[in-house]
């Protein structure tokens, strides 16, 4: 009986010490690189419906990701960005990226028809116990049109596979 009382005392003391020294849990940036697909909707040069192929490469140990999106509409644009990721909880993070729109001539893409600076706010949600990611973002391209300048805005969303 004394052995059980001793064991309970030791376990209780250990529990008290661990609770006293415990630090509050903090959300970390959702882990995982991914590639995904979905629709895109451009708002500025008329309404353009197209597709997006999106990729994220998460840099470990830092809240930074390298992202790229290929937008296909009347014309194609590639949008590489570097983002700062803000953790929301264990499965989701919001981010703000900055980069370039690389759009060729010949027709307008959902984000303009020339090379321009872009901001990309968005959110990623990692579905628990799977390799599936849901993503959504906007691309705001400044001075995006050859003839008129102007800002182009598109919204994308889709589903991806983590790797």
Query: What does the alpha-carbon distance between residue 78 and residue 67 come to, in Å, rounded to a whole number?
Result: 11
Question: What was the pLDDT predicted at 6?
Answer: 47
pLDDT at 31: 67
Q: Residue ranges per domain, the chain?
A: 34-162
Mean pLDDT of 2-8: 45
Q: Is 13's pLDDT higher than 60?
A: no
- Mean of per-residue pLDDT scores for the chain: 85
pLDDT digit string, tens, across residues 96-132: 999 999 997 677 899 999 999 999 999 999 999 999 9
- The domain defined by 34-162 folds into Porin (2.40.160)
* pLDDT score, position 105: 66
**Tens digits of residue pLDDT in 27-38:** 444 568 999 999
Tell me if 141 sits within 8 A of 112, measured CB to CB.
yes
Q: Is 134 helix (H, G, I), strand (E, B) or coil?
A: strand
Tokens for 37? 């697909």
**DSSP-derived secondary structure for the chain:** -HHHHHHHHHHHHHHHHHHHHPPPP---PPP--EEEEEEEEE-SSS-EEEEEEEEEEEPTTSSEEEEEEEEESSSEEEEEEEEEEEE-SSSEEEEEEEEEEEE-SSS-BTTBSS-EEEEEEEEEEEPTTSSEEEEEEEEEEES-BTTTB--EEEEEEEEEEE-
- Residue 149: pLDDT over 80: yes
Tell me which range, 2-6, 38-42, 108-112, is most confidently predicted by mean pLDDT: 38-42
φ/ψ of residue 14, rounded to 5: -65, -40
């Amino acid at each position: 009986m004394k052995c059980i009382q001793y064991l309970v005392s030791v376990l209780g003391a250990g529990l008290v010490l661990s609770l006293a020294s415990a630090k509050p849990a903090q959300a970390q940036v959702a882990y995982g690189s991914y590639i995904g697909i979905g629709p895109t909707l451009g708002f500025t040069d008329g309404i353009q419906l197209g597709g997006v192929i999106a990729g994220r490469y998460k840099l470990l140990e830092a809240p930074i990701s390298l992202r790229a999106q290929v937008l296909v509409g009347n014309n194609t644009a590639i949008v590489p960005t570097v983002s700062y990721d803000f953790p929301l909880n264990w499965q989701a993070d919001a981010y703000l990226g900055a980069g370039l729109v690389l759009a060729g001539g010949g027709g307008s893409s959902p984000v303009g028809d020339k090379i321009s600076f872009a901001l990309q706010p968005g959110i990623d949600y990692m579905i628990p116990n799977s390799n599936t990611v849901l993503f959504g973002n906007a691309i705001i391209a400044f001075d995006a049109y050859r003839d008129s300048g102007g800002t182009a805005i598109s919204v994308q969303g889709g589903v991806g596979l983590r790797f």
